[in-house]
């Protein structure tokens, strides 16, 4: 019994330590989500400014040409996690990348865990980047991705078709993988610039040449969309980890409750055994005293 109680005590201490780790991870996930969410909201305002720039460009220089990606080099940028404890987060995104873009697309991966998930789907990334450790690193990641795309163009690919695949928040606290077309520009978006009237009475004016201005706008648009996708992926990653930690905490609490019940039962059994030993010993002493008294009485009777 002593060994069983000692084992249960050890298991209980271990579960309490695990619960402390789970609670720490849960707290960190909740804290880490907020800066990325705020960064995504801030980038939304920057993106709106870039879209206003496209609108002004179209008003002055006419509609943007609608490009097709039939003969373009297809590139898929997949955003995942660099750490575990977030369930099948990476596997879902990898399956979506394979389903929508096939196995012949050139893949740029963000996240070491995402690289393993892509390998499980038969996709081998050309480049794997590490996600930023803080919200301040989102801009560096977006700039690095743009540099990689420039490298593809400089290597001889005149036309590239770029898509982003990442996890996005959905209704009721759910998450879903999405694929976003980045290049060529969305035809619906470019037609919307031409169809929407200019709201101001002042016509836009530019100092840059049209080709340089359009290139700058496209580059800013790419930066904004990659920044937003990376921020959204990190928000949903931390949300997925938070959900898993809540489930783990609930499971640990249930096991702790079961272990506590077992320990109480073992302690009660030990107490009962000790009480029985005391009672048996007491009864044995009573029988001994009675026997001695009877023997003394018999001796007196025999002497008389």
pLDDT value, residue 3: 52
Distance in angstroms (rounded) separating the CA atoms of residues 199 and 50:
16
List the chain pLDDT tens, one digit each, 304 residues: 445 778 888 888 888 888 888 888 888 888 888 899 999 999 999 999 999 999 988 888 888 877 766 678 899 999 999 888 888 999 999 999 999 888 888 999 999 999 999 999 999 999 999 999 899 999 999 999 999 998 888 877 678 899 999 999 887 778 899 999 998 888 888 888 888 888 777 777 788 888 899 989 999 999 999 999 999 999 999 988 888 888 888 888 888 888 888 888 888 887 888 888 888 877 777 777 777 777 777 777 777 6
Cα–Cα distances in Å, from 136 out to 21, 79, 101, 147, 231? 27, 17, 31, 18, 11
pTM (predicted TM-score): 0.80
The CA radius of gyration of the chain, in Å to the nearest whole number, is 35
How far is residue 137 from each of residues 227, 239, 249, 252, 264, measured CA to CA in Å?
10, 19, 31, 35, 52
What pLDDT is stored for residue 125 in this prediction? 94
CA distance 219 to 50: 10
Task: Quote the pLDDT of residue 236.
Answer: 92
Contact 26, 249 (CB under 8 A): yes
Put the strands of the sheet holding 106-110 in their side by side order.
127-129, 106-110, 73-79, 160-169, 175-183
- Residue reference for tokens 């996708």: 229
**Is residue 182 a contact partner of residue 164, using CB atoms and an 8 Å limit?**
yes
What is the Cα–Cα distance from 125 to 115, expressed in whole angstroms?
A: 7
Cα 300 from Cα 304, distance rounded (Å): 6
Q: Residue 107: what pLDDT?
A: 94
Residue whose tokens read 């990442």 = 166
The pLDDT value given to residue 229: 94
Q: How many residues appear in the chain?
A: 304
Report the pLDDT value the prediction gives residue 304, as an integer from 0 to 100.
64
Mean pLDDT for the chain overall: 86
Read off the pLDDT of residues 67-76 as tens digits, 9 standing for 90 and up: 766 678 899 9
Report pLDDT for 1: 43
CA pair distance 199, 205, nearest whole angstrom: 15
Quote the pLDDT of residue 141: 95
Task: Name the residue among 113, 150, 108 with its Cα closest to residue 129.
Answer: 108
Quick check: 235 and 65 in contact, CB under 8 A?
A: no
What pLDDT is stored for residue 2 in this prediction?
Answer: 47
């Amino acid at each position: 019994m002593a060994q069983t109680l000692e084992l249960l005590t050890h298991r209980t201490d271990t579960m309490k330590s695990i619960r402390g780790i789970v609670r720490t991870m849960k707290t960190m996930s909740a804290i880490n989500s907020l800066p990325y969410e705020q960064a995504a909201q801030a980038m939304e305002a920057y993106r709106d400014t870039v879209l206003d720039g496209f609108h002004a460009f179209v008003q002055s220089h006419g509609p943007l040409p609608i490009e097709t990606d039939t003969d373009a080099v297809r590139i898929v940028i997949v955003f995942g996690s660099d750490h575990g404890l977030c369930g099948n987060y990476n596997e879902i995104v990898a399956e979506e990348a394979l389903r929508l873009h096939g196995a012949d697309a050139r893949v740029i991966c963000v996240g070491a865990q995402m690289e393993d998930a892509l390998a499980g789907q038969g996709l081998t990334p050309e480049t794997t980047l590490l996600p930023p450790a803080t919200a301040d690193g989102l801009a560096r990641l977006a700039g690095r991705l743009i540099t990689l795309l420039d490298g593809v163009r400089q290597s001889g690919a005149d036309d590239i078709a770029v898509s982003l695949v990442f996890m996005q928040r959905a209704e009721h606290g759910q998450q879903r993988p999405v694929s976003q077309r980045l290049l060529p520009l969305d035809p619906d978006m470019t037609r919307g610039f031409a169809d929407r009237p200019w709201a101001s009475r002042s016509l836009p004016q530019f100092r840059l040449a049209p080709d340089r201005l359009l290139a700058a706008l496209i580059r800013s648009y790419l930066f904004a969309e990659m920044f937003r996708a990376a921020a959204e992926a990190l928000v949903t990653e931390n949300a997925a980890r938070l959900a898993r930690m809540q489930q783990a905490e609930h499971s640990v609490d249930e096991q702790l409750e079961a272990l506590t019940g077992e320990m109480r039962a073992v302690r009660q059994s030990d107490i009962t055994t000790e009480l029985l030993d005391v009672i048996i010993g007491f009864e044995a002493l009573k029988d001994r005293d009675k026997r001695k008294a009877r023997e003394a009485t018999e001796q007196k009777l025999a002497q008389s």
